[in-house]
Each structure stands twice: as C-alpha cells, then as structure tokens.
Structure 1
Amino acid sequence: MESDKMNPKVTIDLAKLRHNARVMTEKCNEYGIAIAGVTKVFGGRPEIAQAMIDGGIQYLADSRVENLKKMKDLSLPKILLRLPMISRVDDVVKYCDISLNSEVETIIALSQAAEKQHKTHKIILMVDLGDLREGIFDSQALKLALDEIKNLKGIKVVGIGTNLTCYGGVIPDEENLGRLIAYASEIEAVLGTKLEIISGGNSSSIYMVQEGRMLEEVNLLRLGEAIVLGTESAYGNVIPGTHQDIFQLEAEIIEIKEKPSIPIGKIGMDAFGNKPSFEDKGVRKRAILAVGKQDIGTHAIRPVNVNVIILGGSSDHLIVDITDCDMQHQIGSTLTFDLTYGALLSLMTSEYIYKQMNDTKPRP
C-alpha cells in the first residue's frame, strides 16, 4: 500500500476504537449515564468519529466549531465543549446542537443568533467546583445569570455541567459532584423545569463509575481519553478490557551513528531555551528519527520496544539510543511509539504527520 511508505505517521485501529467505545458506553449505560465522545484529539475526522458512533456513544463533542462542521453529516447531536466565542455565535448555532456556557453576554448573543436562524439552541450551564477553569462560581452568581437568561428566546437551558482535573487537577468525588447536583436543583427551581442533562465531567470521573460511586443524578460524561487511550485521567490507570494502542506513531530512521553520550564543549541553552543535562554512558549507538517537537510538542511518547531509550530532540528530530535493541535497525526502517493524550493531540493536529486508518474487523 502507498500509505505504508508515508512517514512519519499515526496509525489508527478503528476496530479497537469501536471496541473501547463499546466498553465505555456499556459500562456507563448500566448506571444510566450517556457518553459524549470527545473528538478533538483526532481533529474531528468523520471516519474516526464514526467508529465511536458504531461503538455506541450518544453525542459527539468537540472544542472547535471547525471540527463539528466537519462532522455535520454524522447523525448524533453535537456539543461544543469550549465556551463559545461571541464573534462566532452564528456558526455555533449553525453547527452545534448544544454548547457549554458560563457568560450571560454570550448566551444573549446566542439567543439572537438562534432567533435569526429560526432555531432553538440548547445550553448547558457550566459551574466551577474548584478546578478554576470555566464555570459560574457560586449560587449567587448562578441566580443572577438565570434571572437574565430565563426569558430569552431562541435558547433552552437543558443541563448543567462541570469540568474537573484539566486545569487544577481537582479529582471528582461525592463532595464536589454533590454540589453540582445542588446547583442543578437551584436551576430547576428557577426555571420550573427538569434538566435533561447533568454532566459530571470527563475521563477523570470514570474511576467513580468503576467503583460504583458515581452519583445517580449524573447522566452524561464527556469522554475522550477513556475511549481513545483506554485510561482514566484522575489517576492514569488502565481501564480493564480496553486497548491502549489504538493510536501509534511510526517514525523513520534517518541517521544511525555511534557517538559519545555527553556533548563536547561548553553547555548552554538548547533550541527551546532549556539547559540540558546528560549522563555519561560512554559511546552509544544513536538513531535520529524524522519527527520532532513541532509535531509532538513536549508531550511524552513511549517506545513499543522497551530497549529503545528516548534521549531528546529538537523541532524536527527525535534522538533515541538503540544500543540495547535485539534487532538490527537500518536507515529507512521505522520505530513505533505509544502515545499520551497530549502527544496524540499534537500529532493529529500536525499537517506533517500522515494519518493511516486500519480496520481489522468490519463495522457492526
């Protein structure tokens, strides 16, 4: 196949992705929890999102309107995860069924855009439970916001949500999610209606589902990492029955040389303003791969071959130690790496990384 010659690349096993989505949806559905599959990590590519749909997710969720636009022909309701930019409200209403909101001014603009498009745009109000990213911060602010938006036309408040772990590292638990439920009751009292959605967070909330501790009122989770990597993000544990190798990086070797393990000369800053340090292991066999920080950022990747040691890199190069590898590598051969969420996000965004989708099993 021509795609086999394209490097560097991320390979994507769609069958394994469907499997992970199915594992997560079946587990969460046992507790009455629907899943919004987060698609931003793979740039909203419709063919990858379809694999998640085939696995049973009930919503598509992304931070970028552009990605939701790519998926406009997919049948599930679409949620905008990042708070809408007031300059983009027309597109938000056009391409998103639901958006997460915390600013009254933006909600008013969404109302006006929805009326202009003869639509009703659905709103999930976000509350901040201590992680200090987005969200209304207390009961008084929530009441003031509700007083301003409760009679707006063109919008409908359908739910409440929160984000935990992403910024402040605050782990979901019965106490903070209990406050989410209390806020939900306040909203229902003001609006005089039952909320359709109580969204109790992201992949960091999965451990509570696994342990049977999730509050029964929570009926939606927004899951990216749990599906695409098979790990929960509160403690970084593997989720039983899932695959961790759905997405892998393959990078081509462009140089193999034996060199000292410590640079020769006075050490200053590297290309990114850091002063590196080195351990003297003598002369080692080193390989340079045609991928770099422009593609991966500073995020961690893990060699599939445990005898490969990542030494470092620059914008366009990844330098590894292959001295202890059993197999003989040569110029033009490739090394394979498992990915963290941050690395996957960067690689799938990079236009210099080829994306190869494999499907080892037919769709259901």
Structure 2
Amino acid sequence: MTANRTAPASRTAPPANSLAGALLAWYDRHARSLPWRVLPDDRANGEITDPYRVWLSEIMLQQTTVQAVKPYFEAFTQRWPDVRALAEADEEDVMKAWAGLGYYSRARNLKACAETVARDHDGVFPDTEAGLLALPGIGPYTAAAIAAIAFDRPAAVVDGNVERVISRLRAIETPLPAAKPEIRAATAELVPDDRPGDFAQATMDLGASLCSPKKPACALCPWIGACAAHKAGLAETLPKKAPKQAKPTRRGMAFVITRGDGAVLLRRRPPKGLLGGMSEPPVSAWGEDAAQNDLAQVPDALAGLGAAWRRATGDVRHTFTHFHLELAVWRAEIEGTPPAPDGHWWSAACDLDGEALPTVMRKALATGLRD
C-alpha cells in the first residue's frame, strides 16, 4: 500500500548556481499561503501534505482562478474532509456544492474518482503519475501535479503560469499550443530531485506574481540572470499564442414559470454532456439559427400548466469554452399549486440558492423573476 501523505521536506541548502536552488530559496521567502498548501516552514517543522486536499484543489483550479476556488475548497473540505467522506456523499449534494464553479464534468469526475479511490485503493491515492492517470478525471497535468506536490515525485508540472515562466526563461518563440511539448521538456530538465513538489509550486507562484503577463517584475526575479527572454528584451512578448478562432453564437429560449406559492419549476439536464446533471428552468434546444420568439418551442411537458407566456426584459448572454450563448427568457405565472410535470419539480424561492444551478441558469432565473 502506498503512503497517503508525504513526509516533511528537508530544508537543506540548495546546490550552488542551481536554477532550481535559486527558485526554491525565493519560494521559501515568498510562497503564497493557500488553503490547500503546506508552506515550506511548516513542512520543515513536520506538517505533512494531504493528497486529498492537493487532488481536490487541482481539480477545482482547472480553468478557474485561485480566488474563485478558495471558498469552494473550504466549503468542500469542511463538509467532506477526506476522500471516503466524498465517496459516500450523495451526487446531487456534490453537484449543488459545485454549482457556480463551472465546467461541471469536473464535479461528476470528482465524485467518480473519490469512489474509485475509496473502493479500489482502500482510500489511499496512488503515489505515481501512472497510478494517478488511471483514476477518473485525472489527466497528465493533474497527475503530475499530485505526484509532485503530494508525494514529492520529480514530475514536470506545467500550468499556464509555468508556460509563461519557462517560455521566457528559454526564449521559446513557438506559439502555443504547439509549444507545449517544448515547454514541458524544458521544465522537466529543471525539476530537482530534492523538493520537486515545492519546485512545482514555486514555478507557479513565480508566474502568478513576478512573471506576470504584462510588465513582469524582472528586477525581482530569482531567474533574471538566466532568463533568455529578458536578455533579448522579449519578456513581454512571450509566450506567443496562435490566433484564436472566432466562437459561434448559439441561441435559445428559457422558460421561467412560478406558481401561486412562489415556487419555480425546475428540471435536471441529462447526466452527460454540457452542464450534465445540473438543474435548470425548462429550455429549448440551442442552435445558431434557433428561434427566440416562437412559443412552439415551449417544451411539451409544460403544455398542461396553461401558462400565458410573456418575454422578460433583457436576454441572457453567457460564454462557454467553444461558443457564446444567448437566451431569450420567457416568464409566466400560474395560480394554485399544481403538481410538477414528470421529470420536473417545484423549488421554493428560499431553496433556489441551494439548487445545483449553473451560472447561466441563475442568470436566466434572475432575469425571469425580476419582471
């Protein structure tokens, strides 16, 4: 059985003239304090790194900012303090707790991964990249990050901040994403055998603080003397990025209906696909040529409610990874307290905050309910 937590890292003197050593010395003084991180001094004093917290933070941080993740991480770890607790949680509760964080397939994979670790690994995370890659929802980057940070494996951990740091350090002018293999190889050459987890976090911190996208603070950087881009005056131009393709715009209709007691009609999206398993008011199909004023698009399940629909003021606009979405919001009120159609439920107004509603659906409800 693999160890579930890493032993304290040593604080031995770094090798002379070593890039890794210079960065680790900088990190020892300037490491960011984050809820999921064990700081260098604390590790030296015996505090151990919990792979569960590292894994949870890395999943949450995918395409999401540190500031956005912090409250979600703290809420998750208070409610489900270890992987077994999360494995035993109700999936709907997990989706509700994730609501607003985006990229909802992460939440479904999070639950599946916790169940796999609890069932197949006796609640202990594998401590190698290969073992971690076999778990649901863990790709090459996340496996490397967990292996390095949680288990001090010498893995090359390359996120957006690291891409910027390394592309500047080595003056890699190949545009992203084509430059990714070159950047990863350059990172791997720098990873030290001693404290690889701290090195990974130090490189991220360097990119998040000094080596910023615009106006990097090169004078304060521990790698200024070795930075090829700084020497060539190219730092602010790197990394180069290939031109982005224009995103299409899809359109659709959202139907916000309330009954006499103020409850709002909701349904659950299919378990797979975009926003899978999340809650929503009934919506029409989305498409680039979809109608937004055609009440023939009202879902058949709502026909028996006898609603008189009117268009709400203002449309909802939201951007997903691959397309923009515009929703025309239609509003209706019905008298009494009829039962919900099959596959739907009435959610009391006071319960809406606790529903597993993604941001775009919260926007639609807010638009429909304010009229």
- TMscore range, shorter length: under 0.3
Larger radius of gyration: 2
The structure in which a higher percent of residues are strand is 1
Q: TM-score, normalised by structure 1?
A: 0.23
Q: TM-score, normalised by structure 2?
A: 0.23
The structure in which a higher percent of residues are helix is 2
Q: Which has the higher contact order (CA 8 A, sep 6+)?
A: 1
